Amino acid sequence: MVQCPSCARLIKPAITCPGCGAPVGSELDCFAALGLPPRLQIDTVRLEQAYHDLGRRIHPDRFASSPVRLRQASLRATALLTRAYRTLRDPVARGLYTLELNGVKLAENNKNVPPDLAELVFEVQEQLADLNAERSRGGEAARGLNAEVTARRAELQRTMDGLMDELNALFARIDANDTAARDDLYAELKAILSKIAYMRTLIRDVDKELDLTRAA
């Protein structure tokens, strides 16, 4: 039990007091902080709505002239809310967080390329290196290479879109299963999240190279 900093009622740990609505700022998991059920499939419009509605009520801007205790509760509650929103907004962060919440260990600093992406990654990196070298030299072939990389960028995006569809389907399967049967699904989730993380980095590298070429 905790005490509400405003009405002094004793309440269960919460973001806001169920009695008077004042910020309390207890440590809660990200789903509970936003008042959402712990499901991987999230309606992002509803998520943003919940974040903005709560934010409007508990933000420190609303308590600038309040007693210190209430100001501090507002600060704590808003920090927690912000962290929860950022975590749940991004499907990848949401997936990773769910794994963590369920005690699935993630290998630290896993820099290994997921095996079924290895060939693609190798090809793309070679292309980027060629483009970079040709551009630095001011060579004639830069234009052609640039077109190739641009086509590659579109292909990568399609792969990424496919992975995101796969991820969403997996989210649905996990949500539909009861907790006991989820272990295999979590292993699957871990694998696909690692692929997506890798693809994100790759796409960012490609965009950077294309931007440099455009500027040159």
Partner 1 sequence: MSRIFGIDLGTTNSLIALLEGKTPRVIPDPASANALLPSVVALVPDGAVFVGDSAIEMEPRLALKPDSQVSGPGPHRGEAGAVVRSVKRYMGLGGDEVSPEDRRRYAFTDFAGPVVRFRVGERSYTPAQISAEILKALKRRAEAALPDEKVDRVVITVPAYFNDGQRQATKDAGRLAGLEVVRLVNEPTAASLAYGLNQMAEGKVAVYDFGGGTFDVSILNIKGGIFEVLATNGDTHLGGDEIDRAVADWLLEEAPDSVRDRRAWNSARLVAEDAKKRLTQANSVELRLDLEGGRRIARVLTRADLERMASPFVERTLACCGRALEDAMLRASEVDAVVLVGGSTRMPIVRRRVEEFFGRRPLCSLDPDQVVALGAAVQAGVLMGSHGDMLLLDVVPLSLGIETMGGVMERVIHRNTTIPTSAAENFTTAVDNQTHVDIHVLQGERELANDCRSLARFKLGPIEPQPAGLPRIEVTFLIDANGILNVTARDQRTGREHSVDVKPSYGLTDEEIERMLEESIDLGEQDLERRLLITTRNEADQILTALGKQLKEYGELVAADERRRIEETSSQLEAARRGDDRELIGRLVEELNEITTPFAERIMDHAIKIALQKKSIEELS
Q: Which residues bind partner 1 (CB under 8 A)?
A: 1, 7-10, 52, 55-56, 59-62, 64-65, 67-69, 75-76, 78-80, 82-83, 85-86
CB 128 within 8 A of CB 213: no
Nearer to partner 1, 64 or 154 (CB): 64
Q: Minimum CB separation from partner 1 for residue 9, in Å? A: 8
Q: 3-state DSSP helix/strand/coil percent for the chain, to nearest 5? A: 70, 5, 25
Task: Tell me whether residue 86 or residue 143 sits nearer to partner 1 (CB atom).
Answer: 86
Q: How far is the CB of 206 from partner 1 (least distance, A)?
A: 14
Q: What's CA 61's distance to the chain center, in Å? A: 27
Cβ-based nearer residue to partner 1, 180 or 215: 215
Token pair for residue 6? 């405003």
Query: Minimal distance in Å, beta carbon 183 to partner 1?
Result: 27
* 26, 59, 94, 106, 196 from 85: Cα distances, Å: 16, 14, 10, 22, 20
For 91, 155, 191, 201, the CA distances from 109, given in Å and listed in that order, are 20, 27, 14, 14
User: Residue 175 CB, nearest distance to partner 1 (Å)?
Assistant: 27
- Kindly state the smallest distance separating residue 118's Cβ from partner 1, in Å: 27
Pick 45 or 180: Cβ nearer partner 1: 45
Query: Do residues 160 and 203 touch, judged by C-beta distance below 8 A?
Result: yes
Nearer to partner 1, 177 or 201 (CB): 201
CA-derived radius of gyration, the chain: 23
